[in-house]
Chain A
Amino acid sequence: MRALDRKLFRDLSQMKGQALAIALVVASGIAMFVLALSAQHSLKRTLDAYYERYRFAHVFTQLKRAPRSLEGRLAEIPGVASVQTRVVFDVNLDVPDYAEPAIGHLISVPERGEPRLNNYHLRSGRAVEPGRDGEVLVSEAFAEAHGLVSGDSLVAILNGRRKKLEIVGIALSPEYIYQIGPGDIFPDNRRFGVFWMGLKPMEAAFDMDGAFNNITLSLMPGANVDEVLRRLDNLTEPYGGQGAFGRRDHVSHTFISDEIRQLGTMAMIVPTIFLAVAAFLLNVVLTRLISTQREQIAAIKAFGYTHLEVGLHYVKLVLLIVFVGSLLGTALGAWMGQNLTQMYGTFYRFPVLNYDLQARVVVLAVFVGAAAAVAGTLVAVRRAVILPPAEAMRPEPPASYRPTVIERLGLQQFLAQPARMILRHLERQPIKSLLSSTGIAMSVAILIVGRFSADSLGYILDAQFNIAQRQDITVTYVEPRSASATYATTHLPGVLRAERFRAVPVRLRNGHRDRRLGLMGLEPEPELMRPMDEQLQPVELPPDGLMLSEKLAEVLDVEPGEKLVVEALEGSRPVRDVPVAGVFSEFLGMSAYMNIHALNSVMREGPTVSGAFLSADENHLKTLYAQLKETPQVAGVSLKNAAIRSFQETVAENMLRMQAFNVFFAVVIAFGVVYNSARIALSERSRELATLRVVGMTRAEISFILLGELAVLTAIAIPLGLLLGYGLVVLVSSTLDTELYRIPVVVSPPTYAFAAAVVIIAAFLSGLVVRRRLDHLDLVAVLKTRE
Chain B
Amino acid sequence: MGEVDVHALRGVDLDLFESEFVVLLGPSGSGKSTLLNILGGLDVPSSGVVTYRETDLTASDDRQLTRYRRHHVGFVFQFYNLIPSLTARENVALVTEVSPNPMPPEEALRLVGLEHRMDHFPAQLSGGEQQRVAIARAVSKQPDVLLCDEPTGALDYSTGVVVLEVIQRVNRELGTTTAVITHNAAISAMADRVVSLSDGVIASVHHNEQKVSPRELEW
Contact = CB atoms under 8 A, between A and B. Distances in A.
B86 A10 contact: yes
B52 interface: no
Interface string B73-103: 1010101011111100011011101110000
What does DSSP make chain A's interface, helix, strand, loop or mixed? helix
B83 A300 contact: yes
Interface in B126-168: 137, 141
Given A2-B97, A3-B93, A305 B70 contact: yes
A301 B97 CA distance: 14
Contacts of B117: none
A300 B94 contact: yes
A4 B42 contact: no
A307 B62 contact: yes
Interface residues of A, number: 26
A302 B85 contact: no
Contacts of A390: 37, 42-43
B101 to A, nearest CB: 13
Contacts of B75: 299, 302-303
Give the bracket for the number of chain B residues in contact with chain A. Answer: 20 to 34
B183 interface: no
Contacts of A295: 79, 81
B87 to A, nearest CB: 9
B73 A304 contact: yes
Contacts of B94: 3-4, 7, 300, 303
A776 interface: no
Interface string A2-40: 111011001100100000000000000000000000000
Given A295-B79, A300-B94, A304-B67, A6 B86 contact: yes
Contacts, number: 82
Given A299-B77, A299-B81, A304 B71 contact: yes
Contacts of B137: 303
Contacts of A99: none
B66 A7 contact: no
A4 B91 CA distance: 9
B63 interface: yes
A6 B77 contact: no
A298 to B, nearest CB: 7
Contact of A302 (B69, B91, B97): B69
A786 B79 contact: yes
Given A3-B91, A389-B42, A304 B66 contact: yes
Tell me which of A3, A14, A301 has the highest count of chain B C-beta atoms within 10 A of its own C-beta. Answer: A3
B31 interface: no
A298 B79 CA distance: 12
Nearest to A302: B75
A298 B77 CA distance: 11
Contacts of A304: 66-71, 73, 95, 98-99
| Smallest CB-CB A-B distances: 4 pairs | A304-B70, A10-B85, A299-B81, A3-B94
10 contacts: A3-B90, A4-B97, A7-B86, A295-B79, A302-B42, A302-B73, A303-B94, A304-B66, A304-B98, A309-B98
Interface of B: 37, 40, 42-43, 62-63, 66-71, 73, 75, 77, 79, 81-86, 90-91, 93-95, 97-99, 137, 141
Given A7-B83, A302-B73, 11 more contacts: A2-B97, A3-B86, A3-B93, A4-B97, A7-B85, A10-B85, A302-B69, A302-B77, A304-B99, A305-B98, A390-B37
